[in-house]
Amino acid sequence: MPMFRKLAALGLIAATMIGAAPPNAGRPPITGISHLAVYATDMAATDHFYRVVLGARKGTDPEDPAGARYYFSPRQFVEVLPAPKDHGPSMLAHVGYVTADAAKLRSWLAARGVRDLTPVQRGEGGDQWFGGRDPEGNQIQFVQPGSSATAAEKGAISGRIIHVGHAVHNRAKQDGFYRTLLGFRPYWFGAFHEDKVDWVSQQLPDGRDWLEYMMVGEGSDVTVDKVNARQLGVLNHLSLGVVNMQAAVTTLYRENRLSPRHDGPQMGLDGKWQANFYDPDGTRVELMEFKPASTPCCSPFTAESPDP
């Protein structure tokens, strides 16, 4: 390398060390998954799935009187909303993340050019939240919980949402928002075939829950022409952590709580036991053990897995 290029490189390193702050400097903590919001065409059937099959506690929805919340812990839930007539093939409404300070995070994002942010709202229970969109148009929310309690709800098959996933077409564009701006951290990636990338997981900036890109299009096994309503239900999902998969599935079987459509348990390519259940509109809820039981394919984990 010519000397001037070496000096330029050294100067760039020095400037990085002593100069401008990283893009996510000063951002209020983003600590975990708050919720997944989904649409339903049959609220009664969907109620049975989340309340009886998965054992979540039903509550009112402070955002939409026609909706309902299904709590796995006082801070984590699935929000079910009546499907609008023009909702399209996807039943995903939005993803919610936990933040320590909703108002400050909104101001922080706005100062960095993130547009179309909704005002901060406050619920009767003390929750505060605001909404926006990621670069591919997925609706997201940031929630400051009114309660610090995290214990599992009685009867729930799990008390912890450990990750959410949704379809992603342009990884670089999404990385610019989630990884560069917000500070999400690499966790694992994999695929069915060595020359593909199907799943890209990144943990939240200040916690061990993660967002999973479900890759679609070039470079993935899921081509655009395969993405119909059924496939979107598989891609757009949430995962509930369990300590022991055999015990969890046995409980559902013994208590006659298996959903009509389900598969597994099976060992995932990430080395974790998993089993899939589907709500009446096809949204996948994945049970997953917190810790890997075998070596993952494709890439090693680059961070610690969530704790129960």
pLDDT digits (tens, 9 = 90+) for 103-132: 999 999 999 999 999 999 998 889 999 999
- What residues does 69 pair with on adjacent strands? 59, 79
pTM over 0.75: yes
Q: What is the pLDDT, as a whole number, of residue 94?
A: 98
CA distance 64 to 80: 10
Could you tell me how many helices (H) and strands (E) the chain has, helices first? 6, 16
Any idea how long the chain is?
308
- Is the pLDDT at 208 greater than 70? The verdict is yes
Side chain identity at 88, as an amino acid letter?
G
- What mean pLDDT do residues 200-214 have? 98
The edge-to-edge listing of strands for the beta sheet with 199-203 is 185-190, 199-203, 210-215, 161-168, 237-242, 284-289, 273-278, 262-267
The percent of residues in the chain predicted with pLDDT above 70, rounded, is: 93
- Cβ-count burial 176-212 (b if 16+ within 10 Å, e if not): ebbbebbbbbbbbbbbeeeeebbbbbbbbbbbbbbbb
Q: What is the pLDDT, as a whole number, of residue 20?
A: 61
Check if the beta carbon of residue 269 is closer than 8 Å to that of residue 292: no
- Is the pLDDT at 151 greater than 80? The verdict is yes
Assign 126 to helix, strand or coil: coil
> For residue 109, what is the DSSP state?
H
Please give the residue that has the higher pLDDT: either 149 or 220.
220
